Amino acid sequence: MPQFLSTTDADFDTRFTALLSSKREDSPDVDHVVADIIADVRARGDAAVLALTAKFDRLDLTPATMRFTEAEIDAECAKVAPADMAALQLAADRIRAYHSRQMPTDALWTDEAGATLGWRWTPVSAAGLYVPGGLASYPSSVLMNAIPAKVAGVGRLAVVVPTPDGVTNPLVLMAARIAGVDEVYRIGGAQAIAALAYGTETIAPVDKITGPGNAFVAAAKRRVFGKVGIDMIAGPSEILVIADRDNDPDWIALDLLSQAEHDESAQSILITDDAAFGNAVAAAVDARLQTLERRAIAAASWQAFGAIIVVQDMAEAVALSDRIAPEHLEICTADADALAQKVTHAGAIFIGGWTPEAIGDYIGGPNHVLPTARSARFSSGLSVMDFVKRTTLSRMSPEALAAIGPSAERLANSESLQAHGLSVRARLDRLNRGGT
């Protein structure tokens, strides 16, 4: 059974705060191992990557076989059922259409002082995408990471995906092909992150690394951050559903379970203004848990971290939601649009009963890489913005420098940075002598 809370309980605030701060992830401390792996790859390049792949993935590669050839990708793609291919293609088209609208625009203007100012966006030159092997090898993640990069204009996109014991997921390669990935390597773990960040004889270094991974991958990404850019370090998945009594309890139960089935550390919370509806959803969850394939995982998550919170009204629901700052927020109420407008902190909002969160995981169009662990208070999901960067532009006319330069000089001197001031003063002096 999940926790039941009501905002009218005397101890509500204590219990809600405890729910918010429940530690859901036990990150093993693998930092020393990862530091050694990165040092090894920096020192020995391909040789280190190959040795570590033999050790961890039980796979003997050579520099020549590290990378999938086009023929090998063709052969894997040929194994994909046409309906799966069509579904991936539809998802890719919709993700591309959504993300294409995110491209930021350049600006350039001249202000009243005569200063020409602006900025220009340019894509990251090369990006690397980590794709986990084994059970959590999700083709949808390939699309969600690779398409924003390609929309941004990233010239070279390299995927690393471990193939333990040589087992490959054809759908991952199909997704990579559909998304326009340029290179795919059969490597994983911290060694793959190190190879992407520092390069080896076979793998050219990239400027930015994104994509999910296990504790080793996460620790490696943290370590190479600065040398390259990284995306967020994602925690276990979360969903908050705000629903009134006019919903099918089974639908809401399935939406809660679709996060719970990800991971024993996932968290699913229902907020409702109707206690009876809350009980009905709890019963529906239990019923579905009888037969769900991943019931062991889903039940463990629901038991440990699930919660049903009864509120007095939906304004209270929104206030609690902002304190949770959920990764996924589903709003299934009569006035769902109006309620969504009032939310301040959430990674993604799914509005109305016909929008199960799973649509967003695959095919809606928005990205499914979203801020977890309350970080929606200060960060956003993956987007085209993660693969571009801004260069600011300034051009002073002599008149502009004459107008604003003296203030710059004054501020420089107040900060005891004399050369700053002199660099302005030397030019002002020329102007004062009538020169340009």
375 is in an annotated binding site: no
Cβ-in-10-Å burial (0-12, 13-18, 19+) of 201 comes to exposed
Smallest gap from Cβ 146 to its own copies, in A, equals 15
The number of beta carbons lying within 10 Å of the beta carbon of residue 62 is 9
Q: Cβ closer to its own copies: 64 or 135?
A: 135
Which residue in 76, 183, 327, 330 is the catalytic one? 327
Provide the token pair at 152.
Answer: 């941004």
Q: Cβ closer to its own copies: 2 or 421?
A: 421
Smallest gap from Cβ 50 to its own copies, in A, equals 25
3 is in an annotated binding site: no
Amino acid, res. 385:
M
Which residue in 261, 328, 368, 409 is the catalytic one? 328
- The single residue listed with the structure tokens 């990284």 is 230
415 is in an annotated binding site: yes
Is residue 307 within 8 Å of residue 266, measured between CB atoms? no
Smallest gap from Cβ 54 to its own copies, in A, equals 28
399 is in an annotated binding site: no
Smallest gap from Cβ 91 to its own copies, in A, equals 6
The neighbouring-strand residues paired with 129 are 159, 210
Active site residue 76: no
32 is in an annotated binding site: no
Q: Cβ closer to its own copies: 51 or 199?
A: 199
| Contacts for 53 with CB less than 8 Å, ≥ 6 apart | 59, 61, 162, 186, 187, 188, 191
418 is in an annotated binding site: no
Smallest gap from Cβ 6 to its own copies, in A, equals 26
Q: Cβ closer to its own copies: 74 or 337?
A: 337
* Terminal-residue alpha carbon distance, the chain: 79
Q: Cβ closer to its own copies: 36 or 111?
A: 111
Is residue 405 within 8 Å of residue 424, measured between CB atoms? yes
Provide the token pair at 3.
Answer: 């926790």
d(CA 4, CA 309): 6
Active site residue 327: yes
Q: CA angle at residue 430 from 425 to 431, to 5 degrees?
A: 95
d(CA 68, CA 242): 45
Binding positions for substrate are 237, 259, 262, 328, 361, 415, 420
Binding positions for NAD(+) are 130, 191, 214
Binding positions are 130, 191, 214, 237, 259, 262, 328, 361, 415, 420
Q: Could you give the residue numbers annotated as active site?
A: 327-328
